[in-house]
Structure formats: structure tokens, C-alpha cells
Amino acid sequence: MAEVSIATRHVMQANKSKNTKPELLVRQALRAAGLPGYRLHWKKCPGRPDVCYPGRKVAIFVNGCFWHRCPHCNLPMPKSNVPFWEAKFARNKARDARNHEALVDAGWTVLVVWECALKKGRFESTMSRLVREIELASVGLRPEGRVVEVGYLKPWQLRVVWKRRHGRR
């Protein structure tokens, strides 16, 4: 592992892992949608999801685009100390994959919300889909043990939306 300067180490330690702004927005929207009763960073659940509904077996991870390397943002790699950052991001992604796999194996529905999906133009649609996924998982209308990325449409859905916006069928 590459060495990091003391200053960089202190800056990285100052980054919050709990109660981040995107996480607070999601929690506020869940309460407004009538879905209280969740656990925060529940220690008994693999990976300690940001928001967890143990009775419904739903785990929600609110991922920051930079630290978890959002596949939609195409963020550049930091220019200095590249070997360190490559190793750091690879460990983060491997940890996320392990946590998701452990939850899926235990029959949980894992919902991943990316920070960029919570921006102004997309917040309402992302949260409505998140609420719908939680409700469907809790009544058993979705298969157990799956990972859902909330806030992004599948490629075929994007074509349908584009056609509707441009008056084509």
C-alpha cells in the first residue's frame, strides 16, 4: 500500500461516514413518505447499511459518488499519488460487493442510492422509486435476495423516455 502524508491522512479522517447530507435527505424523504421505523447503521446487519428495515429485510446504502466510484458520473482519478487512490477505490468497491453479497445470501433486498441521483432534477423520481421498492419488498412482491440500483433507468427505459419527450412513439 502506498504511503500517505500526515496532512492527507487528517483530511481523509475528517470525512464523515455517517449522517452525510445525501443520507439525511433520504431519511427525511422516507419519514415524509410514511416509512419511519428504520435502523441507522445497524451493527447486526452485514455492512452496516445507512438505513435498514430489519422486519422488511431491506438495506439501503447511500453511496457517495467519489468514494464508491459511481458508474454513472465517470469521475476522474486524483492526479497525485495515483497508486494509493487506485488501491483505495478498489478496496472500497470490493468491500461494497462483499457486503451486498452477504445481504443477498441472507435474503435481504439491497437498495443502492447514488449521491448524484439525489440532485435537484432527479430527487423526487429517485425517492418515489425507492419508496416503491421498499413497499414491494415488504409485501413480498419482489424476489428476496437482490440488489437494486435506485435512481437510474435501464437503457431500454431511457429510449422510451426520450421518445416521449420528443413526441415520438
pLDDT of residue 41: 93
State mean pLDDT over 141-151. 84
Q: Is residue 151 part of a domain?
A: yes
Q: What is the pLDDT of residue 160?
A: 47
Angle between helix axes 21-32 and 123-138 (nearest 10 degrees) is: 60
| Digit-coded pLDDT (tens) for 18-75 | 778 999 999 999 999 999 999 999 999 989 999 999 999 999 999 999 989 998 888 8
Res. 157 pLDDT band, cuts 50 70 90 = very low
Number of domains in the chain: 1
More confident residue, 158 or 133: 133
Q: For the residues 153-167, what does the mean pLDDT come to?
A: 50
The pLDDT value recorded for residue 151 is: 78
Residue 23 lies in a domain: yes
CATH number, domain containing residue 89: 3.40.960.10
Taking alpha carbons only, the member of 123, 109, 121 closest to residue 151 is 123
Q: How far apart are CA 166 and CA 163, in angstroms?
A: 5
Q: Tell me if 12 is assigned to some domain.
A: no
Q: How many CB atoms lie within 10 A of CB 27?
A: 19
In a domain, 152, yes or no: yes
Residue 148 has pLDDT above 80, yes or no: yes
Q: Is residue 3 part of a domain?
A: no
Whole domain around residue 135: which residue ranges? 17-165
Q: Do the domain assignments include residue 133?
A: yes
The contacts of residue 87 (CB under 8 Å, 6+ apart) are: 1, 2
**Higher confidence at residue 127 or residue 73?**
127
In a domain, 145, yes or no: yes
Answer yes or no: is 11 within a domain: no
